């Protein structure tokens, strides 16, 4: 039953796209890479590998997934590729969720 005072969260046409975006953002490695890109604004693949401790193939795979979904963009300079966040909503989405769960969940020890 629909109530005019409670509009839907999303239009039906947007549900699949929003779910895909949340799924892409929902991977811990991808969140770590996004976190690093937020802090440093732009990093090379090698800098992301060094900072995250992940293997280069794994970092490249995750960057490719995020680039296909529009979360990050790539800039080529010679043989190096530099990545940065390309979706201005990423920090807000992360902050919103972190604030919401921060009050109800405690970190695992």
Residue numbers of the domain that contains 18: 13-102
pLDDT tens per residue across span 3-24: 568 899 889 999 999 999 999 9
HEC sequence for the chain: CCECCECCCCCHHHHHHHHHHHHHHCCHHHHHHHHHHHHHCCEEHHHHHHHHCCCHHHHHHHHHHHHHCCCEEEEEECCEEEEEECCCHHHHHHHHHHHHHHCCCCCCC
User: What is the count of structural domains for the chain?
Assistant: 1
Asked if residue 107 belongs to a domain, the reply is no
Asked if residue 47 belongs to a domain, the reply is yes
CATH number of residue 48's parent domain: 1.10.10.10
pLDDT tens per residue across span 34-48: 999 999 999 999 999
């Amino acid at each position: 039953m629909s109530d005019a005072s409670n509009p839907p969260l999303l239009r039906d046409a947007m549900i699949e796209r929003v779910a895909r975006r949340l799924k892409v953002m929902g991977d811990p490695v991808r969140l770590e890479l996004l976190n690093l890109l937020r802090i440093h604004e732009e990093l090379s693949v090698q800098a992301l590998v060094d900072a995250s401790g992940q293997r280069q193939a794994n970092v490249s795979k995750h960057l490719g997934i995020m680039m296909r979904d529009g979360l990050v963009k790539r800039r080529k300079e010679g043989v190096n590729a530099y990545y940065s966040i390309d979706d201005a909503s990423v920090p807000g989405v992360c902050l919103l969720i972190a604030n919401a769960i921060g009050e109800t969940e405690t970190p695992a020890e």
